[in-house]
């Protein structure tokens, strides 16, 4: 009876906590916001490219406070926040601004499952913007800077019995600082959006042995039907072995063992090539064996695909996919949400925009000045979409020359700013290296914080020679990297050409259609051109696409249309910001997009 009463009290307490939370503010929301369960927030395994069988999700209601910069941990917290939604978002339940003069404190309690006794306990953060300090049971276990990449701490030595206390402090200066921030500004307007501060991806626990696999890199070579796999092993010793089993569906096609410190080259006979039309993935099981015993095991995958460039019979440098000319065509994808800002309200929502992009007939997405959670890239791998990955730059350039090769003075960053850029760009590339959907790295966009362009482009190519480098989307232009990328609004225009590199139209379009009851702002909504209904907007889109086909024959090898959805004050999406209305005629768009893509096919 006593146990039953305690259980009833627990249920009542949990119900009260859940009832207290609700989305903040009166902005538009997606359909997924209506079914948020605070006890089951983004509950899917957060790192499917390296998946273990056991883990614990720490998302949910935490305590929060906003304090002045430099203050001690508050004795009393202000209220509840729904992690991992950023504090400025509606779904956090808070929707408060922070800024450079303040910090956000988080606190929660958790228990470690008893079956994990004897294991190393890792505390993972998907992403926290920007500087995070972390305490376990009032002992500081570490810090991390960088708003877009995962990080973790081995918290085993700091754990006690029973309930454990986790405290996180975050500082994010937005555009008062020198860190990468993408489209975030403290005074959002036009193409600039609401700040995102704090935890914005899943927080989770994972048990491992002392010896464990820390990271996996896969690099396919379709020209000789092999894949190279490298497993980075923690606490490896002589005699440790990595075993890789490769599956085609349920069938084992290869099983290879190698000394743990060595790259493993695996033959893939009659390889099935990955493409947007046929996104086949080989699944893998990777074991770490020490003294004859399996001490770690993860599931992963890879794809046999190649991205390259080559001159065609007319001397135009074309992008190639799997050694064939292939026109890449897709939308500029900001990855913002009216209710969660940087954070999609559910995994279904995260996947939804990719599915709709495929429905529109596109084969590519340019992920614009933002980095997504790991699950987004796995969705791209599985659904079949090429990805151009931008660096989320901060800062501006003293001058932007978009219509000619740059002949001015490049921006000189401070030593601190340059160090931050280099550190975070490398971490982003390391984080995303093994996702086959990613085919282009984009270090700079429209001269935002652009510096040492040739050096950065050369470093990027040297660090990952398996992908193309688009050094400066929209300029400032240099004869470096693999791509010359032009921006022109609203219609396509080929005003600069490079005979020795791929020439692409990295942004165009921006056709606006504001729809009442689906607007973030009630006035001053913005598009490069605006129309009154879906037919007019679709007609204009088709007209641009028809003109684009002529320019493809003259030299364009890829194009990016602005954009997937409306975002805050921008009303130039294929969908409304709340994803509730498809604003253009998707069937007509699909038909013309497929014609555009087939322009290069023989």
- What is the per-residue pLDDT for 13? 42
Those residues with Cβ within 8 angstroms of residue 9's Cβ, 6 or more apart along the chain or in another chain: none
| Interval 500-520 mean pLDDT | 96
- What is the per-residue pLDDT for 17? 43
> Is residue 1 scored above 50 in pLDDT?
no
Residue 523 burial (10 A CB sphere; 0-12, 13-18, 19+) = exposed
User: Of 223, 222, 282, which is closest to residue 256 (Cα–Cα)?
Assistant: 282
| Interval 363-380 mean pLDDT | 98
Would you call 559 helix, strand, or coil by DSSP? Answer: strand
Please give the residue that has the higher pLDDT: either 461 or 521.
Answer: 461
- What is the per-residue pLDDT for 396? 76
> Is residue 12 scored above 90 in pLDDT?
no
> Is residue 528 scored above 90 in pLDDT?
no
CA dihedral 488, 476, 450, 412 (to 10 degrees): -150
H helix or E strand, kind and range, residue 352: helix 347-359
- What is the per-residue pLDDT for 261? 83
As a whole number of angstroms, the distance between CA 89 and CA 333 comes to 19
CA angle at 98 for the pair 96 and 104, rounded to the nearest 5°: 95
As a whole number of angstroms, the distance between CA 337 and CA 240 comes to 46
- What is the per-residue pLDDT for 602? 66
Residue with tokens 């509730």: 580
Q: How confident is the model at residue 20 (pLDDT cuts 50, 70, 90)?
A: confident
| Interval 224-229 mean pLDDT | 97
| Interval 47-55 mean pLDDT | 98
- What is the per-residue pLDDT for 437? 98
> Is residue 524 scored above 80 in pLDDT?
no
Strand boundaries in 155-250, DSSP class E: 164-171, 198-199, 203-208, 212-221, 226-234, 241-248
Contact in structure between 69 and 102 (CB atoms under 8 Å):
yes
- What is the per-residue pLDDT for 95? 97
- What is the per-residue pLDDT for 15? 41
Instruction: Set out the domains of the chain in order of their start, with CATH numbers.
Output: 21-208 (2.60.120.260), 212-302 (2.60.40.10), 327-598 (3.20.20.80)
> Is residue 5 scored above 70 in pLDDT?
no
- The mean-pLDDT minimum among 184-198, 201-215, 522-536 falls in 522-536
> Is residue 11 scored above 80 in pLDDT?
no
For residue 165, the tally of other CB atoms under 10 A from its CB is 14
Residue with tokens 């990080």: 151
Sheet with 251-259, strands from edge to edge, namely 251-259, 241-248, 282-290, 293-302
> Is residue 197 scored above 80 in pLDDT?
yes
Residues 254-280 have pLDDT tens digits of: 999 999 989 999 999 999 999 999 999
- What is the per-residue pLDDT for 14? 41
- What is the per-residue pLDDT for 2? 47
| Interval 503-509 mean pLDDT | 98
Residues 147-160 have pLDDT tens digits of: 999 999 999 999 99
To the nearest whole number, what is the mean pLDDT of the chain? 95
The two three-digit tokens of residue 500, written as one number? 């020795």
> Is residue 6 scored above 80 in pLDDT?
no
């Amino acid at each position: 009876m006593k146990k039953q009463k305690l259980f009833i009290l627990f249920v009542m307490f949990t119900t009260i906590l859940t009832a207290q939370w609700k989305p903040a503010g009166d902005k538009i929301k997606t359909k997924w916001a209506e079914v948020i369960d605070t006890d089951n927030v983004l509950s899917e395994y957060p790192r499917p490219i390296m998946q273990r069988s056991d883990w614990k999700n720490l998302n949910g209601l935490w305590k929060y406070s906003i304090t002045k910069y430099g203050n001690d941990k508050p004795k009393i917290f202000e209220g509840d926040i729904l992690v991992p939604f950023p504090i400025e978002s509606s779904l956090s339940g808070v929707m408060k601004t922070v800024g450079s003069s303040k910090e956000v404190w988080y606190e929660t309690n958790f228990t470690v499952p008893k079956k994990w006794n004897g294991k190393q306990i890792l505390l993972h953060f998907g992403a926290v913007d920007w500087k995070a300090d972390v305490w376990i049971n009032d002992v500081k276990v570490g810090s991390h800077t960088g708003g877009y990449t995962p990080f973790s701490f081995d918290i085993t030595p700091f754990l006690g019995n029973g309930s454990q206390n986790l405290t996180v402090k975050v500082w994010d200066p937005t555009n008062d600082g020198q860190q990468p921030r993408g489209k975030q500004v403290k005074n959002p307007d036009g193409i600039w959006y609401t700040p995102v501060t704090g935890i914005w991806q899943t927080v989770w626990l994972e048990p491992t042995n002392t010896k464990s696999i820390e990271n996996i890199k896969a690099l396919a070579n379709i020209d000789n039907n092999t894949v190279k796999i490298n497993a980075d092993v923690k606490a490896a010793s002589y005699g440790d072995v990595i075993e890789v089993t490769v599956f085609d569906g349920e069938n084992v096609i290869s099983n290879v063992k190698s000394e743990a410190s060595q790259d493993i080259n695996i033959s893939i006979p009659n390889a099935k090539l990955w493409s947007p039309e046929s996104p086949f993935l080989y699944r893998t099981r990777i074991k770490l064996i020490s003294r004859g015993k399996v001490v770690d095991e993860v599931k992963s995958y890879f794809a046999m695909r190649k991205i390259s460039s080559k001159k065609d019979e007319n001397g135009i440098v074309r992008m190639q996919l799997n050694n064939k000319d292939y026109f890449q065509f897709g939308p500029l994808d900001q990855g913002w949400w009216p209710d969660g800002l940087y954070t999609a309200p559910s995994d279904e929502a995260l996947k939804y925009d990719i599915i709709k992009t495929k429905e529109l007939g596109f084969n590519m997405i340019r992920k614009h000045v933002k980095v997504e959670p790991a699950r987004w890239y796995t969705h791209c791998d599985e659904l079949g979409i090429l990805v151009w990955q931008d660096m989320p730059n901060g800062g501006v350039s003293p001058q932007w020359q978009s219509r000619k090769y740059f002949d001015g003075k490049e921006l000189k960053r401070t030593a601190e700013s340059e160090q931050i850029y280099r550190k975070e760009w490398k971490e982003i590339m390391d984080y995303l290296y093994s996702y086959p959907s990613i085919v282009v790295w984009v270090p700079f966009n429209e001269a935002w914080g652009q510096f040492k362009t040739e050096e950065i482009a050369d470093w990027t190519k040297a660090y990952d020679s398996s992908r193309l480098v688009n050094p400066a989307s929209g300029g400032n232009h240099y004869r470096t990297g693999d791509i010359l990328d032009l921006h022109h609004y609203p219609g396509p225009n080929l005003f600069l050409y490079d005979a020795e590199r791929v020439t692409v139209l990295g942004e165009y379009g921006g056709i606006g259609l504001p729809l009442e009851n689906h607007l973030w702002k009630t006035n001053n909504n913005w598009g490069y051109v605006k129309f009154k209904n879906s037919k007019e907007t679709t007609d204009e889109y088709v007209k641009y696409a028809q003109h684009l086909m002529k320019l493809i024959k003259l030299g364009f090898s890829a194009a990016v249309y602005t954009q997937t959805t409306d975002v805050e004050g921008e009303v130039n999406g294929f969908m409304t910001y709340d994803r509730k209305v498809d604003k253009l005629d998707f069937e007509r768009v699909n038909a013309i997009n497929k014609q555009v893509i087939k322009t290069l096919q023989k």
